[in-house]
Structures are given as C-alpha cells and as structure tokens.
DNA sequence: CGACCGTTTGAGTGCGGTCAAAAGAAGTGG
DNA sequence: CCACTTCTTTTGACCGCACTCAAACGGTCG
C-alpha cells in the first residue's frame, strides 16, 4: 500500500480513520512521470481523471486566440488538480510540468465512490476545493486591481507559504523553477517587464536571487505590497461529517 | 413547502427523486430581502451560511488597501453563493445587492446533512462549484491577457448566456442594472474607460443600449472578441451517484 | 426646482507593452 | 573538453492603452 500524499494533506486539517485512509491510498495506486516541459493534459482533450501531484511543480494554463498564455495556478506536491473534470468531460485547461513531476491519476468513478461511501473525505475535498477557489479570487483581484510589482510579490509570497505548509522547517529561501516568461504568464505581464520588476524588488531589499533559488528577504514588507492574505491559516472544516 | 429555486437549477443537469427534492426545498425555508445597494455580507465577518439567490442581481467583491474594488462574480437567480463558507468561518469576500434581491440562507450543518444522507445532491453541488471555478479561470485569463474591450464583451456575453439558462425564451435584450463604475470593478478598468469602450462597442454595431437595458446586436462577433467559451453547455455530471 | 448620481467628453500622463539586440547559462553533440 | 545551439536574462528606446483629473451633461427622485 502506497502512503497517500493527498491524505497527508487532508490530515493537516482533520484526523482520518483507517477506512478513510485506505480509500485515499487507493487513489494513488497508479503513478506517471513527466519530464520538465512536458504537457500533461491539453485543453479540450477528453479528461475523465483527477490528478494528485506526488512531487514536482506543474502549472495549469489556457491559451488565447492570439497565442498568449495565462497560467491559472501553480500546483505543488500534495495538490489535487484537474478538479474541473468533475464538471466537464473535456479539459477546460492545460497542464504542464515545470519540473520533473510524478502524478497519480484517478477516475471520476472513484470520486463517486467517495461521495457514496466516504462522505467525510468527499466533504474534505469540497473544503479544499473552496479554499482553492478563494486563492483564485485573490489572484483575480491581484490581476484586476494591483500593479505589476504587487502581482509578482503576491506570486512569490504565496508560493513560499504553500511550500511551508508541507515543509514547516523551510526558511525564507526556496528553489523557484519558473522562467520570467512563466512568471509573466502567471501575472498577466510580459517577460521584459517581469525582469524589470524583479530587479526592482531586489534593489528594494525585498528578495534575493541566485541561480534558480529565491530568498524572501523582507517577508512582512513583501506581503504588504502584495496585499497578501494567508488563507491557508484560516481553513475551518469543522462542519464535515464525523468519521464513520 | 416552498418550491426550490436551486433544485430547479440542479434538475437542468440531472433528474432528482422525492427525498432529494424535499431536502433541497428545506434549504430555502427561510428568506431575506435586501434593497439595491445593501451589503448582504461583509468580508471578515463571521459567515457560517450559504445563500441561494431566489431573485435579483448581486455581486461578490473584495476591497483592496487603496480603496479600489474587484468584483469577483455576478450572481443571478438560482445561484448558490458564499460557498467559501465551506472552507472558512469568516467571509473571504463581501456580497452586495445590485438590485432588490431575495436570498435563502442555510447553515453549514445543512451541508453536512447533504453529504451524509444525500450524496447525489452533495456531488451535484460539487459539480456546480467546479463549473463556477471554470468561470473564474475564464475571468482570470480575461483580466490577465485581454484588452479592455474584450473584457467588457466577455462580461456582457456571459451575462446573457447565464440569463438564458433560466429563461430560454430570452432573446438578445435584457435588463442590465450595473453602473459603468461596477462594470469597471468587474473588469479591472476605470469607469471612464468603460464608458469609452461601451460606446465603441455600440459604434461597432455589437451592442445597443437604452435606459438600463442592453441588446446584444451581433452575438457571434461579440463572442469572438471576448474569447468567449460557453462552459454551461458542456457540463457533464454523469459520474454523480445515482438517486438513492 | 434643486440635489444627487451616473454618463459623457476632453486633455494630459504614465505604466506596462513592443521591438530589438546583447550578454549569460545551459544543454548537446562531436 | 570544446564548439555550437538554444533558452533565458538583461538592457535600451520608443509607443500606446488605459488611467487621472476635471468639467459638463442628463436623468431621477425628493
């Protein structure tokens, strides 16, 4: 029985019983590997599966008519991705590997089984999905109403906080595999302007960079200019059904 | 027993049985009224309830440090709003009435009951939530990667399509109660620029306006410049548990 | 009729985009 | 190990979309 990466994540919020854990472990029985740069899923392809990220970084994105790309979300270890498969038979967004990644796919019928036999897990998945939704709305406000510098700051801070969720000993430095082009696609900017703003953040003493690692030098000030709110700290799943 | 507005919506996708319908009707037992302009829910307030919009237009939004506002989503009749209450005890977004509205609140414990006793409904709510998520990502791409004119076009088209879901006889004209300031807050623009772009859309023969009604003159061309994809048409909830 | 709110219009500005080129980095194959 | 390609970062000059500020106009409701 493989240990469950996603189950571990859920247990951050609530304890799970044996049968629930076993059901979660079954979701990660199969594993696939993708090399950096590979497309894991393409928009409009049939996509009846959800994916659990077991390791590595990936990003979901859409391509527009004019060829430009919008990165919708960065996905890190333990994330559940492709949740739109719950509503659509064909993918609404593409998914690519930003580093080498291991993913565990599971079918929509497995989700049905969770709703039927493991309401506590189904409810927890709903909780996680709503937390993800809040992240999306934060990003919407970031793109709609803040400056280039703020948007980049928000991306960096949020990434650090999310990495810390899995790895509490993580200090202020972390590997950051995105190119400036990719940062631009995530923040709605051009790579040229991303470059200028990143250098400005360095000059302001807010961050530091070396090879592909990033250090958050002044987390408080960076959070301020990013308008950052740590949603993860406020998650409250107290309403979910008790362990069966 | 009040008829269920939300249940009606769910039946667009899948048939429901008596017990499921009864459970849904119970969600709309209580009703509150809000006048145009009133704040229904304020960010950071305790918010243990979900809301079903029974009639009228409302909008969820966040306010930023500098006083600017980002409208996250327009909510129409039959929408389930405040779903972030599933993950957070305090509201992550505010909600205001754009017209007079009637809303039916129900508690998080009611959701627990659905997950325990009505897995089909719980799963359908998950489906709807994922469809909403797709709408949010569409908006994210719209704000991040398209021009002012596109963003406004996307807002108008999407609104028309959503109104048609409830009212298939709706032609190309509909009441549109948003001020240009509000359109700007939804699209990440200033009201001044919204005005200029709306007039441009009129001049291009794409839309027409009179008092507070809006007519989509050339739906195809407007959809094109909006990069619009009709997600609602593609919803596929075939995986949800069968009626119990 | 006057107050208020929303729309419209104009003039000027600036943030972020575009285009282009050079300098580094990182693979890749001989 | 080096020559070569390719990708990424950096820099500069210029441009234009959308913002700002300001004022006039129009509708609506006391």
Mode of pairing for the β-strands spanning A173-175 and B213-216? unpaired
Q: What are the phi and psi torsion angles at B154 (to 5°)?
A: -65, -40
Output the CA torsion B140→B145→B149→B152 (10° steps): 0
Question: What are A66's two structure tokens?
Answer: 């004019």
What is the DSSP track for B32-50? EEE-TT-EEE-TTSB--EE
The answer to whether B179 CB is within 7 Å of strand C is yes
Q: What are the phi and psi torsion angles at B64 (to 5°)?
A: -100, 165
Name the one residue in this structure whose structure tokens are 């333990």.
A78
Question: What are B48's two structure tokens?
Answer: 């243990």
Name the one residue in this structure whose structure tokens are 């596109």.
B150
pLDDT computed for residue B2 by the predictor: 56
pTM comes to 0.95
Picking from B68, B115, B145, the nearest residue to A123 by CB comes out as: B115
Mean pLDDT of A159-173: 95
B61, B185 contact by CB (below 8 A): yes
A172, A164 contact by CB (below 8 A): no
Q: Is B64 on the interface with A (CB under 8 A)?
A: yes
B49, B108 contact by CB (below 8 A): yes
Q: What is the side-by-side strand order in the sheet with B101-107?
A: B32-34, B101-107, B49-55, B80-81
Q: Is B191 on the interface with A (CB under 8 A)?
A: no
State, as a whole number of angstroms, the distance between the CA of B213 and the C1' of D22: 29
Q: Is A123 on the interface with B (CB under 8 A)?
A: yes
Specify burial of residue A50 (Cβ count, 10 A radius: 0-12, 13-18, 19+): buried
What percent of chain A clears pLDDT 90, i.e. is strictly above it? 95
Picking from A62, A69, A86, the nearest residue to B126 by CB comes out as: A86
pLDDT computed for residue A2 by the predictor: 56
Measured over the CA atoms of residue B216, residue B220, residue B226 and residue B228, the dihedral's sign is positive
Residues of B in contact with A69 (CB under 8 A): 145
pLDDT computed for residue A211 by the predictor: 79
DSSP B87: T
Mode of pairing for the β-strands spanning A58-63 and A213-216? unpaired
Model confidence at A1, pLDDT cuts 50, 70, 90, reads very low
Q: A10-57 pLDDT, tens per residue? A: 999 999 998 999 999 999 999 999 999 999 999 999 999 999 999 999
Q: What are the phi and psi torsion angles at B108 (to 5°)?
A: -60, -30
Q: What is the pLDDT along chain B (244 residues), one digit of tens a residue?
A: 457 899 999 999 999 998 989 999 999 999 999 999 999 999 999 999 999 999 999 999 999 999 999 999 999 999 999 999 999 999 999 999 999 999 999 999 999 999 999 999 999 999 999 999 999 999 999 999 999 999 999 999 999 999 999 999 999 999 999 999 999 999 999 999 999 999 999 999 999 998 889 999 999 999 999 999 999 999 999 999 998 7
pLDDT computed for residue B53 by the predictor: 96
Tell me: pLDDT of A144 over 80.
Answer: yes
**Higher confidence at residue A175 or residue B244?**
A175
pLDDT computed for residue B1 by the predictor: 46
A130, B84 contact by CB (below 8 A): yes
Between CA A3 and CA A22 the distance in angstroms is 9
Residues of B in contact with A129 (CB under 8 A): 126, 129-130, 133
> In chain B, where do the E strands start and end?
32-34, 39-41, 49-55, 58-63, 69-75, 80-81, 94-97, 101-107, 173-175, 207-210, 213-216
Between CA B225 and CA B157 the distance in angstroms is 10
pLDDT computed for residue B149 by the predictor: 97
Q: A196-222 pLDDT, tens per residue? A: 999 999 999 999 998 789 999 999 999
Dmax over Cα atoms in chain B, in whole Å?
A: 55
Question: What are B5's two structure tokens?
Answer: 């507005």
Cα–Cα separations (whole angstroms), residue A27 to A76, A241, B51 = 17, 21, 33
B183, B152 contact by CB (below 8 A): yes
Cβ distance B88 to A128 less than 8 Å, yes or no, reads no
What is the DSSP track for A49-83? EEEEEEES-EEEEEE-TTS-EEEEEEE-TT-EE-G
Cα–Cα separations (whole angstroms), residue A47 to A86, B128, B138 = 10, 18, 18
Beta bridge partners of B207: B216
Q: Count of residues for chain A?
A: 244
Residues of B in contact with A132 (CB under 8 A): 133
């Amino acid at each position: 029985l493989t240990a469950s990466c996603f189950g571990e994540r859920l247990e951050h919020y609530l304890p799970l019983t044996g049968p629930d854990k076993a059901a979660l472990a079954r979701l990660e029985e199969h594993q696939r590997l993708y090399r950096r740069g590979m497309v894991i899923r393409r928009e409009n392809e049939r996509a009846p599966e959800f994916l659990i990220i077991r390791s590595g970084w990936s990003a979901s994105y859409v391509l527009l008519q004019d060829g430009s790309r919008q990165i919708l979300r960065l996905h890190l270890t333990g994330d559940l991705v492709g949740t739109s498969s719950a509503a659509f038979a064909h993918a609404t967004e593409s998914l690519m590997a930003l580093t080498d990644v291991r993913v565990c796919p599971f079918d929509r019928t497995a989700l049905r089984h969770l709703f039927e036999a493991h309401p506590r897990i189904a409810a927890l998945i709903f909780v996680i999905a709503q937390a993800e939704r809040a992240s999306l709305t934060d990003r919407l406000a970031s793109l709609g109403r803040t400056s280039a510098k703020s948007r980049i700051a928000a991306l960096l801070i949020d990434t650090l906080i999310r990495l810390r969720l899995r790895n509490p000993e993580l200090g202020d430095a972390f590997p950051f595999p995105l190119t400036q082009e990719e940062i631009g696609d995530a923040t709605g900017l051009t790579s040229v302007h991303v470059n200028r703003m990143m250098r400005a953040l360095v000059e302001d003493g807010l961050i530091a960079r070396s090879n592909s690692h990033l250090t958050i030098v002044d987390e408080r000030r960076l959070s301020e200019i990013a308008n950052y709110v740590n949603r993860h700290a406020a998650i409250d799943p107290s309403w979910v059904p008790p362990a069966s």
